[in-house]
Amino acid sequence: MAETLNDSRIVYFFEAVRCGTIRAAADWLNVAPSAVSRQIGLLEQELDAPLIERHARGVKTTEAGALLVAYFREQLAHKDDLISQMQALRGLRTGQVNIVLGEGFVSDLLAGPMQHFCKQYAGIKVNLDVAGTNEVIRKISEDEGDIGLVYNPPADPKIVSRAIRTQPLMAVVGPDFHRTSKHKSLSIKELASYPIAAAYPNYGTRQMLQAVEFAEKVRLEPAVTSNSFAILKQYVSYGLGITCLPAFAVTTEVDAGELKVIPIDHPLLQQGEAHLITRVGRKLSVASNKMLQLMIGNMRAFSK
Protein backbone atom coordinates (compact mmCIF):
# COMPACT_ATOMS: atom_id res chain seq x y z
CA MET A 1 0.00 0.00 0.00
CA ALA A 2 1.32 3.45 -0.96
CA GLU A 3 2.12 5.92 1.82
CA THR A 4 0.42 8.82 -0.01
CA LEU A 5 -2.87 9.28 -1.82
CA ASN A 6 -3.19 10.64 -5.34
CA ASP A 7 -5.98 13.23 -4.95
CA SER A 8 -6.52 13.53 -8.70
CA ARG A 9 -7.33 9.82 -8.88
CA ILE A 10 -9.75 10.14 -5.97
CA VAL A 11 -11.71 12.65 -8.05
CA TYR A 12 -12.30 10.02 -10.76
CA PHE A 13 -13.40 7.49 -8.15
CA PHE A 14 -15.65 9.99 -6.34
CA GLU A 15 -17.41 11.10 -9.51
CA ALA A 16 -18.02 7.49 -10.54
CA VAL A 17 -19.73 6.89 -7.19
CA ARG A 18 -21.62 10.18 -7.27
CA CYS A 19 -22.80 9.76 -10.87
CA GLY A 20 -23.57 6.07 -10.42
CA THR A 21 -21.75 4.75 -13.50
CA ILE A 22 -18.30 4.94 -15.08
CA ARG A 23 -19.76 6.38 -18.29
CA ALA A 24 -21.71 9.11 -16.49
CA ALA A 25 -18.58 10.09 -14.57
CA ALA A 26 -16.61 10.19 -17.81
CA ASP A 27 -19.21 12.50 -19.37
CA TRP A 28 -19.10 14.76 -16.31
CA LEU A 29 -15.28 14.88 -16.33
CA ASN A 30 -15.15 15.14 -20.14
CA VAL A 31 -12.81 12.15 -20.50
CA ALA A 32 -13.08 8.67 -21.96
CA PRO A 33 -14.69 5.93 -19.77
CA SER A 34 -11.44 3.95 -20.06
CA ALA A 35 -9.58 6.84 -18.40
CA VAL A 36 -11.95 6.76 -15.42
CA SER A 37 -11.60 2.97 -15.09
CA ARG A 38 -7.80 3.20 -15.33
CA GLN A 39 -7.52 5.88 -12.63
CA ILE A 40 -9.78 3.90 -10.30
CA GLY A 41 -7.72 0.80 -10.94
CA LEU A 42 -4.49 2.62 -10.12
CA LEU A 43 -6.08 4.01 -6.96
CA GLU A 44 -7.10 0.50 -5.89
CA GLN A 45 -3.51 -0.61 -6.44
CA GLU A 46 -2.22 2.27 -4.31
CA LEU A 47 -4.58 1.39 -1.47
CA ASP A 48 -4.32 -2.36 -1.98
CA ALA A 49 -8.10 -2.66 -1.65
CA PRO A 50 -11.08 -2.91 -4.00
CA LEU A 51 -13.08 0.34 -3.93
CA ILE A 52 -16.07 -0.36 -6.18
CA GLU A 53 -18.21 -3.25 -7.30
CA ARG A 54 -19.55 -3.15 -10.85
CA HIS A 55 -23.17 -4.14 -11.39
CA ALA A 56 -25.54 -4.06 -14.35
CA ARG A 57 -27.02 -0.78 -13.11
CA GLY A 58 -23.73 0.88 -12.26
CA VAL A 59 -21.14 0.92 -9.49
CA LYS A 60 -21.42 0.47 -5.75
CA THR A 61 -18.76 1.19 -3.13
CA THR A 62 -17.11 -1.51 -1.11
CA GLU A 63 -16.49 -0.92 2.60
CA ALA A 64 -13.09 0.56 1.75
CA GLY A 65 -14.67 2.68 -0.97
CA ALA A 66 -17.23 4.09 1.46
CA LEU A 67 -14.39 5.16 3.78
CA LEU A 68 -12.65 6.92 0.89
CA VAL A 69 -15.87 8.72 -0.12
CA ALA A 70 -16.29 9.98 3.46
CA TYR A 71 -12.65 11.11 3.52
CA PHE A 72 -12.97 13.01 0.24
CA ARG A 73 -16.19 14.72 1.32
CA GLU A 74 -14.43 15.87 4.49
CA GLN A 75 -11.61 17.31 2.38
CA LEU A 76 -14.12 19.21 0.25
CA ALA A 77 -15.77 20.56 3.39
CA HIS A 78 -12.39 21.70 4.76
CA LYS A 79 -11.70 23.43 1.45
CA ASP A 80 -15.02 25.26 1.75
CA ASP A 81 -14.08 26.30 5.30
CA LEU A 82 -10.79 27.77 4.09
CA ILE A 83 -12.53 29.67 1.31
CA SER A 84 -15.06 30.92 3.86
CA GLN A 85 -12.32 32.24 6.14
CA MET A 86 -10.72 34.03 3.20
CA GLN A 87 -14.11 35.51 2.36
CA ALA A 88 -14.45 36.74 5.93
CA LEU A 89 -11.19 38.62 5.55
CA ARG A 90 -12.67 40.30 2.48
CA GLY A 91 -15.81 41.32 4.37
CA LEU A 92 -18.23 38.70 2.96
CA ARG A 93 -18.18 40.27 -0.48
CA THR A 94 -18.24 36.91 -2.31
CA GLY A 95 -19.21 33.31 -1.62
CA GLN A 96 -22.32 31.15 -1.50
CA VAL A 97 -24.76 29.46 0.88
CA ASN A 98 -26.41 26.17 -0.07
CA ILE A 99 -29.81 25.51 1.50
CA VAL A 100 -31.88 22.34 1.03
CA LEU A 101 -35.46 22.69 2.19
CA GLY A 102 -38.92 21.22 2.14
CA GLU A 103 -41.31 23.18 -0.06
CA GLY A 104 -43.42 24.20 2.93
CA PHE A 105 -40.56 26.39 4.17
CA VAL A 106 -40.08 28.37 0.94
CA SER A 107 -42.42 31.31 1.58
CA ASP A 108 -41.29 31.58 5.20
CA LEU A 109 -37.64 31.68 4.16
CA LEU A 110 -38.13 34.21 1.35
CA ALA A 111 -40.33 36.52 3.41
CA GLY A 112 -37.98 36.61 6.41
CA PRO A 113 -34.27 35.67 6.34
CA MET A 114 -33.73 36.20 2.61
CA GLN A 115 -35.00 39.76 2.82
CA HIS A 116 -32.34 40.62 5.40
CA PHE A 117 -29.52 38.50 3.97
CA CYS A 118 -29.76 39.77 0.39
CA LYS A 119 -29.70 43.37 1.54
CA GLN A 120 -26.74 42.92 3.92
CA TYR A 121 -24.64 40.56 1.78
CA ALA A 122 -25.48 41.33 -1.83
CA GLY A 123 -22.33 39.58 -3.10
CA ILE A 124 -23.18 36.22 -1.50
CA LYS A 125 -25.04 33.79 -3.75
CA VAL A 126 -27.76 31.62 -2.20
CA ASN A 127 -28.65 28.26 -3.75
CA LEU A 128 -32.08 26.91 -2.79
CA ASP A 129 -32.79 23.23 -3.51
CA VAL A 130 -36.32 21.99 -2.75
CA ALA A 131 -36.64 18.31 -1.79
CA GLY A 132 -38.65 15.84 0.26
CA THR A 133 -37.80 15.04 3.87
CA ASN A 134 -35.63 11.99 3.16
CA GLU A 135 -33.75 13.75 0.36
CA VAL A 136 -33.07 16.84 2.50
CA ILE A 137 -31.48 14.63 5.16
CA ARG A 138 -29.41 12.76 2.57
CA LYS A 139 -28.12 15.93 0.92
CA ILE A 140 -27.15 17.51 4.25
CA SER A 141 -25.48 14.33 5.55
CA GLU A 142 -23.45 14.07 2.34
CA ASP A 143 -22.48 17.78 2.27
CA GLU A 144 -24.54 18.54 -0.82
CA GLY A 145 -26.06 21.35 1.21
CA ASP A 146 -24.89 23.50 4.13
CA ILE A 147 -28.22 24.05 5.92
CA GLY A 148 -31.43 22.04 5.78
CA LEU A 149 -35.04 22.86 6.62
CA VAL A 150 -37.17 19.79 7.21
CA TYR A 151 -40.46 18.88 8.82
CA ASN A 152 -40.65 16.09 11.39
CA PRO A 153 -37.51 14.24 10.27
CA PRO A 154 -36.58 10.75 11.48
CA ALA A 155 -33.57 10.50 13.79
CA ASP A 156 -30.24 10.32 11.96
CA PRO A 157 -26.83 10.05 13.67
CA LYS A 158 -25.23 12.18 10.93
CA ILE A 159 -27.61 15.11 11.48
CA VAL A 160 -27.82 17.73 14.24
CA SER A 161 -30.80 20.06 14.71
CA ARG A 162 -29.71 23.67 15.27
CA ALA A 163 -33.31 24.80 15.95
CA ILE A 164 -36.50 22.87 16.72
CA ARG A 165 -40.02 24.17 17.11
CA THR A 166 -43.29 22.28 17.61
CA GLN A 167 -45.48 22.81 14.55
CA PRO A 168 -48.60 20.59 14.61
CA LEU A 169 -49.90 19.11 11.38
CA MET A 170 -53.12 20.98 10.60
CA ALA A 171 -56.08 20.44 8.33
CA VAL A 172 -55.89 23.04 5.56
CA VAL A 173 -59.33 23.95 4.22
CA GLY A 174 -60.91 26.48 1.91
CA PRO A 175 -62.43 29.72 3.26
CA ASP A 176 -65.98 28.36 2.80
CA PHE A 177 -65.36 25.03 4.54
CA HIS A 178 -68.73 24.47 6.18
CA ARG A 179 -67.39 23.02 9.44
CA THR A 180 -65.19 25.96 10.36
CA SER A 181 -68.03 27.78 12.12
CA LYS A 182 -69.05 24.70 14.12
CA HIS A 183 -65.81 22.98 15.10
CA LYS A 184 -62.58 24.24 16.59
CA SER A 185 -60.86 20.98 15.59
CA LEU A 186 -61.36 17.87 13.49
CA SER A 187 -61.26 14.30 14.73
CA ILE A 188 -59.44 11.62 12.76
CA LYS A 189 -62.82 10.11 11.85
CA GLU A 190 -63.99 13.46 10.46
CA LEU A 191 -60.69 13.92 8.63
CA ALA A 192 -61.09 10.52 6.98
CA SER A 193 -64.54 11.47 5.68
CA TYR A 194 -63.16 14.13 3.31
CA PRO A 195 -61.16 13.79 0.08
CA ILE A 196 -57.52 14.36 1.01
CA ALA A 197 -54.59 15.59 -1.05
CA ALA A 198 -51.24 14.50 0.40
CA ALA A 199 -47.53 14.40 -0.37
CA TYR A 200 -45.63 11.23 -1.23
CA PRO A 201 -44.41 8.91 1.58
CA ASN A 202 -40.89 10.39 1.52
CA TYR A 203 -42.30 13.62 2.97
CA GLY A 204 -42.63 14.21 6.72
CA THR A 205 -46.27 15.30 6.48
CA ARG A 206 -47.31 12.03 4.82
CA GLN A 207 -45.24 9.96 7.22
CA MET A 208 -47.16 11.52 10.12
CA LEU A 209 -50.49 10.63 8.52
CA GLN A 210 -49.26 7.07 8.00
CA ALA A 211 -48.30 6.88 11.69
CA VAL A 212 -51.86 7.89 12.62
CA GLU A 213 -53.28 5.30 10.23
CA PHE A 214 -51.20 2.60 11.93
CA ALA A 215 -52.02 3.79 15.46
CA GLU A 216 -55.77 4.20 14.92
CA LYS A 217 -56.25 1.44 12.33
CA VAL A 218 -57.96 3.86 9.93
CA ARG A 219 -57.46 4.62 6.24
CA LEU A 220 -56.50 8.14 5.19
CA GLU A 221 -56.13 7.23 1.53
CA PRO A 222 -55.33 10.36 -0.51
CA ALA A 223 -57.55 11.18 -3.48
CA VAL A 224 -54.59 13.12 -4.91
CA THR A 225 -50.88 12.56 -4.28
CA SER A 226 -48.22 15.07 -5.34
CA ASN A 227 -44.66 16.18 -4.68
CA SER A 228 -45.79 19.82 -4.99
CA PHE A 229 -47.21 21.70 -2.03
CA ALA A 230 -48.47 24.32 -4.48
CA ILE A 231 -50.69 21.63 -6.04
CA LEU A 232 -51.92 20.52 -2.61
CA LYS A 233 -52.90 24.09 -1.76
CA GLN A 234 -54.57 24.67 -5.13
CA TYR A 235 -56.54 21.44 -4.65
CA VAL A 236 -57.97 22.89 -1.45
CA SER A 237 -58.55 26.41 -2.82
CA TYR A 238 -60.69 24.96 -5.65
CA GLY A 239 -62.89 23.22 -3.09
CA LEU A 240 -61.90 19.69 -4.10
CA GLY A 241 -61.07 18.57 -0.56
CA ILE A 242 -58.55 19.20 2.21
CA THR A 243 -54.84 18.70 2.79
CA CYS A 244 -52.67 18.47 5.90
CA LEU A 245 -49.74 20.86 6.40
CA PRO A 246 -48.14 22.79 9.25
CA ALA A 247 -49.52 26.32 9.64
CA PHE A 248 -46.27 28.05 8.61
CA ALA A 249 -46.51 26.40 5.17
CA VAL A 250 -49.72 28.31 4.36
CA THR A 251 -49.11 31.60 6.19
CA THR A 252 -49.30 33.68 3.00
CA GLU A 253 -52.58 32.09 1.91
CA VAL A 254 -54.13 32.31 5.38
CA ASP A 255 -53.16 35.99 5.72
CA ALA A 256 -54.78 36.63 2.33
CA GLY A 257 -57.97 34.84 3.40
CA GLU A 258 -57.54 32.19 0.71
CA LEU A 259 -57.16 29.23 3.07
CA LYS A 260 -57.85 28.36 6.70
CA VAL A 261 -56.21 25.93 9.12
CA ILE A 262 -58.02 23.75 11.65
CA PRO A 263 -56.29 21.73 14.40
CA ILE A 264 -56.60 17.96 14.16
CA ASP A 265 -57.46 16.25 17.43
CA HIS A 266 -54.71 13.63 17.64
CA PRO A 267 -51.54 13.69 19.80
CA LEU A 268 -49.28 12.30 17.05
CA LEU A 269 -50.16 15.15 14.71
CA GLN A 270 -49.83 17.74 17.46
CA GLN A 271 -46.21 16.69 18.02
CA GLY A 272 -44.96 17.68 14.56
CA GLU A 273 -41.72 19.68 14.54
CA ALA A 274 -39.86 22.03 12.23
CA HIS A 275 -36.09 21.39 12.24
CA LEU A 276 -33.17 23.47 11.02
CA ILE A 277 -30.38 20.96 10.45
CA THR A 278 -26.70 20.63 9.56
CA ARG A 279 -24.34 17.67 9.37
CA VAL A 280 -22.76 16.56 12.64
CA GLY A 281 -19.23 17.96 12.81
CA ARG A 282 -19.73 20.29 9.83
CA LYS A 283 -18.10 23.67 10.37
CA LEU A 284 -20.26 26.17 8.53
CA SER A 285 -18.79 29.00 6.52
CA VAL A 286 -19.08 32.55 7.86
CA ALA A 287 -21.80 33.28 5.29
CA SER A 288 -23.74 30.12 6.16
CA ASN A 289 -23.52 30.98 9.86
CA LYS A 290 -24.94 34.44 9.15
CA MET A 291 -27.81 32.86 7.25
CA LEU A 292 -28.35 30.27 10.00
CA GLN A 293 -28.80 32.97 12.63
CA LEU A 294 -31.19 34.94 10.42
CA MET A 295 -33.24 31.80 9.80
CA ILE A 296 -33.55 31.06 13.50
CA GLY A 297 -34.53 34.63 14.34
CA ASN A 298 -36.77 35.52 11.39
CA MET A 299 -38.75 32.45 10.36
CA ARG A 300 -42.26 31.83 11.61
CA ALA A 301 -41.50 28.11 11.65
CA PHE A 302 -39.13 28.72 14.60
CA SER A 303 -40.79 31.69 16.30
CA LYS A 304 -42.35 31.38 19.74
CATH number (domain holding residue 186): 3.40.190.10
Pair 113, 23 in one domain:
no
Structural domain includes residue 54 = yes
Confidence category of residue 3, pLDDT binned at 50, 70, 90? low
Structural domain includes residue 85 = no
Pair 134, 278 in one domain:
yes
Range of the domain at 59: 7-69
CA 180/CA 202 separation, integer angstroms = 30
SS3 track for 59-103: EEECHHHHHHHHHHHHHHHHHHHHHHHHHHHCCCCCCEEEEEECH
44 pLDDT above the threshold of 90? no
Number of domains into which the chain is organized:
3
Pair 252, 294 in one domain:
no
Structural domain includes residue 80 = no
Pair 198, 239 in one domain:
yes
What pLDDT, in 10s, does the model give residues 236-249? 999 999 999 999 99
Confidence category of residue 178, pLDDT binned at 50, 70, 90? low
What pLDDT, in 10s, does the model give residues 133-153? 999 999 999 999 999 999 999
Pair 266, 173 in one domain:
yes
Structural domain includes residue 265 = yes
Dihedral, 98, 102, 106, 108 alpha carbons, nearest 10: -110
Pick from 72, 114, 106, 121: which is nearest to 246 by CA? 106
Pair 158, 173 in one domain:
no
Pair 30, 62 in one domain:
yes
Pair 55, 193 in one domain:
no
The confidence score (pLDDT) of residue 265 equals 94
Pair 284, 153 in one domain:
yes
The confidence score (pLDDT) of residue 133 equals 93
Q: What is the mean pLDDT of the chain?
A: 88
Structural domain includes residue 29 = yes
Pair 260, 174 in one domain:
yes
The confidence score (pLDDT) of residue 276 equals 97
Structural domain includes residue 82 = no
Pair 140, 194 in one domain:
no
Pick from 271, 188, 197: which is nearest to 227 by CA? 197
Give the amino acid at 205. T
Structural domain includes residue 1 = no
According to DSSP, the β-strands at 58-61 and 52-55 are antiparallel
181 pLDDT above the threshold of 50? no
Domain endpoint, select from 69, 99, 116: 69
Pair 288, 144 in one domain:
yes
Structural domain includes residue 74 = no
Tell me the CATH number at 54: 1.10.10.10
